[in-house]
Structure 1
Amino acid sequence: MDTMCGEAPTVRSATAVADAREATRVFLEALGQPAVDPEAADTIVLVVSELVTNALRHGGGSYTLRLTAHPELIEVAVDDPSPRAPHMRIPDLKDGTGGFGWGMVNHLAHSTNVTHRPSGGKTVAALLARQPG
């Protein structure tokens, strides 16, 4: 399978992040060969969780999640209505309430990209390996 796409609906709910994680696991399990290694799948789900959390917290409270499978990579893309791009922050070590996510995503992903949409808002995307590396 060269490319497979999936999209989660735009969501505003208390379970939005959990729903995004579950939709990602279902997507990954449905892929044909090459399959996604379980360790890589956990990393992909973690990145989805972080990007969706950021979209809800900092991006206007709604998001659209798109997952695309490529032969060696999975692309995670999250749209939100805010034009404000994520940025590195100094982590809050006292309360542990923020500043860790974008750095973690950049560390785990093969690459990241932020694209501002002409209609407003942005897409934050990350490419992640199907196999641990």
Structure 2
Amino acid sequence: MSTVIEQPLEARLVASAPCMESVPATLRYDRGDPYAVSMAFPPPATLEGVEVSWAFSRELLTQGVEGPAGLGDVRVRPYGYDRTVVEFHAPEGIAVVHVRTSEVRRFLDRAQLLVPAGREYQYLDVDRNLSRLLDE
């Protein structure tokens, strides 16, 4: 069984202009980092022209599809019937995207099958992480 889940999705970039631009994005979950998920945007979708990836907790994403969640760099909240808003806060500014809640739920269901919520600690490789930390 694969230890990594990736799910492409369409994100709508919210801007000050009246229409929202569609950009590709990928949600990713790796059993090797069981508490985290990431959302990546390919180079054409970013101002810098390089892939940008934001990592945040799986719990934040799970909570954010039900109600407002997050106080830091990443904030998630439901919007309307089948949309979830993800805000990315950085010193350069804020990026806001809308994604389909059904796609986020499908991703979270797949992650749940790979690593059940509450059992993430069983998938941590403490020895490897400690060794890496001591090498640095």
TM, length-normalised to structure 1: 0.31
Q: Which has the higher helix share?
A: 1
Q: With CA pairs under 8 Å and 6+ residues apart, which has the higher RCO, 1 or 2?
A: 1
Q: Which has the higher strand share?
A: 2
TM, length-normalised to structure 2: 0.30
